[in-house]
Amino acid sequence: MNTDFQPAYLETHATGSLAIKAREATTRLEDCTLCPRQCHVNRLENETGICKTGKLSRVSSLHAHFGEEPPLVGTHGSGTIFFTYCSLMCNFCQNWEISHQGLGDDVSSKDLAHMMLKLQERGCHNINFVTPSHVVPQILSAVETAVQQGLNIPLVYNSSGYDRTETLKLLDGVIDIYMPDFKFWKSTTAEMTCNAPDYPEAARTAIVEMHRQVGDLVTDEKGIARRGLILRHLVMPDDLAGTREIMRFIAGNISPNTYVNLMSQYRPSGGAWKIPGLDHPLTAPDYHQAMQAAREEGIVRFAR
């Protein structure tokens, strides 16, 4: 438990480092290598790559979310900001209209800062950036604005796990809670679902860096998350995700005390129904086997 808490970005702002990080990140948009795709497009001139996002971030919705992990939700909800598009583009995405079809509106950094403050005013326990990997510069610029107007609740980086360490280092001292997916252990599955055979290695490297920055999950006396790592893993049919290997890696290379949400809601959304192996929902025996594997590999802290 931890009651003596203030968000990391307050000190980073006070030292002037937040402004430096925001400027450096924005410069990187000129030859974009923010994510492992490394498209090398000039997003400052609104050229776009895999993520279809130019100079401005695009937001599909914001609200107090009560369907997230309990330490984020508490009594007043997690203040989620859902960014449009994605750099991973899973073919089974359950938010297809947002990630693939671009549902949402372009917003300025000033607009994004206003959204954060609005969610804080509603009593949300945190600001939860959903699918943020391709808009890190825009987020940093918005946080710099929002902190000057009173933002003072934890920031959550809720990503696919397809992140570059070089980009994550810009978030050191800014993000309080990292919540990555670790989707696939097998490069063949990552290639089949996302055309990203490098996903497993990228996720391993990224999650090590995230944990280095924030450590294991820490909560206050009410069980509300303040700082640390929350790991999500979607169990897939026929163990296509490689759950046991992922849990072994987390327990052995991150921490057996990692807070893990082993998710059971896989269904063949998007284009997955066309692909053998992905064309049917997860079965109860598959999920129970995955949970047993996680426990056998040493994970002891699960979302309830």
Task: Using pLDDT thresholds of 50, 70 and 90, give the confidence band for residue 277.
Answer: confident
3: pLDDT strictly greater than 70: no
Full residue range of the structural domain in which residue 99 is found: 8-48+56-302
Instruction: Tell me what the mean pLDDT of segment 280-299 comes to.
Output: 96
How high is the pLDDT of residue 81?
Answer: 98
Residue 271, domain member (yes or no): yes
2: pLDDT strictly greater than 80: no
Side-chain half-sphere CA neighbours of 170 within 13 A: 25
Closest-CA residue to 36 (of 82, 84, 93, 88): 88
169: pLDDT strictly greater than 80: yes
How high is the pLDDT of residue 1?
Answer: 39
CA distance 136 to 278: 31
Q: For 34-87, how does the pLDDT look when each residue is reduced to its tens digit (9 = 90+)?
A: 999 999 999 999 999 999 999 999 999 999 999 999 999 999 999 999 999 999
193: pLDDT strictly greater than 70: yes
Residue 145, domain member (yes or no): yes
CATH, residue 172: 3.20.20.70
**What DSSP letter does each residue of 248-264 carry, written as one string?**
HHIIIII-TT-EEEEE-
Task: Using pLDDT thresholds of 50, 70 and 90, give the confidence band for residue 271.
Answer: confident
CA distance 99 to 89: 7
Total domains in the fold of the chain = 1
Q: Among 116-125, 245-254, 270-279, which stretch is predicted with the lowest mean pLDDT?
A: 270-279
Query: Roughly what angle, to the nearest 10 degrees, separates helices 109-121 and 136-147?
Result: 60
Instruction: Tell me what the mean pLDDT of segment 244-255 comes to.
Output: 98
Q: For 252-263, how does the pLDDT look when each residue is reduced to its tens digit (9 = 90+)?
A: 999 999 999 999
More confident residue, 102 or 73: 73
Instruction: Tell me what the mean pLDDT of segment 274-302 comes to.
Output: 93
Q: What predicted TM-score, i.e. pTM, was given to this entire model?
A: 0.96
Residue 3, domain member (yes or no): no
CA distance 20 to 175: 15
Tokens of 125: 């326990």
Task: Using pLDDT thresholds of 50, 70 and 90, give the confidence band for residue 276.
Answer: confident
Q: For 88-101, how does the pLDDT look when each residue is reduced to its tens digit (9 = 90+)?
A: 999 998 888 999 99
Instruction: Tell me what the mean pLDDT of segment 283-304 comes to.
Output: 95
Tokens of 31: 């030859």
Rounded to the nearest 5 degrees, what angle is found at the Cα of 120, between the Cα atoms of 304 and 216? 40
Rounded to a whole number of angstroms, the distance between the first and last alpha carbons of the chain is 18
Residue-wise burial string across 56-86, b where 16 or more C-beta atoms lie within 10 A, e elsewhere: bbbbbebebbeebbebbbbeebbbbbbbbbb
Average pLDDT over the chain reads 95
DSSP letter (8 states) at residue 283: P
Please tell me whether residue 269 adopts helix, strand or coil conformation. coil
Q: For 195-218, how does the pLDDT look when each residue is reduced to its tens digit (9 = 90+)?
A: 999 999 999 999 999 999 999 999
Write the burial class of residue 4 (CB in 10 Å: 0-12 exposed, 13-18 middle, 19+ buried).
exposed
How high is the pLDDT of residue 28?
Answer: 97
Residue 2, domain member (yes or no): no
Task: Using pLDDT thresholds of 50, 70 and 90, give the confidence band for residue 304.
Answer: confident
Amino acid at 182: F
Percentage of the residues of the chain whose pLDDT score is greater than 70:
99
How high is the pLDDT of residue 110?
Answer: 97
Q: Which residue has the tokens 């692909």?
A: 275
Residue 86, domain member (yes or no): yes
- In the chain, where do the E strands start and end? 57-65, 78-83, 105-107, 127-130, 155-158, 177-178, 218-219, 225-234, 259-263, 301-302
Task: Using pLDDT thresholds of 50, 70 and 90, give the confidence band for residue 168.
Answer: very high
How high is the pLDDT of residue 82?
Answer: 98
CB of 261 closer than 8 Å to CB of 286: no
Residue 206, domain member (yes or no): yes
Write the burial class of residue 243 (CB in 10 Å: 0-12 exposed, 13-18 middle, 19+ buried).
buried
Residue 34, domain member (yes or no): yes
Residue 12, domain member (yes or no): yes
Phi/psi at 139 (nearest 5 deg)?
-65, -45
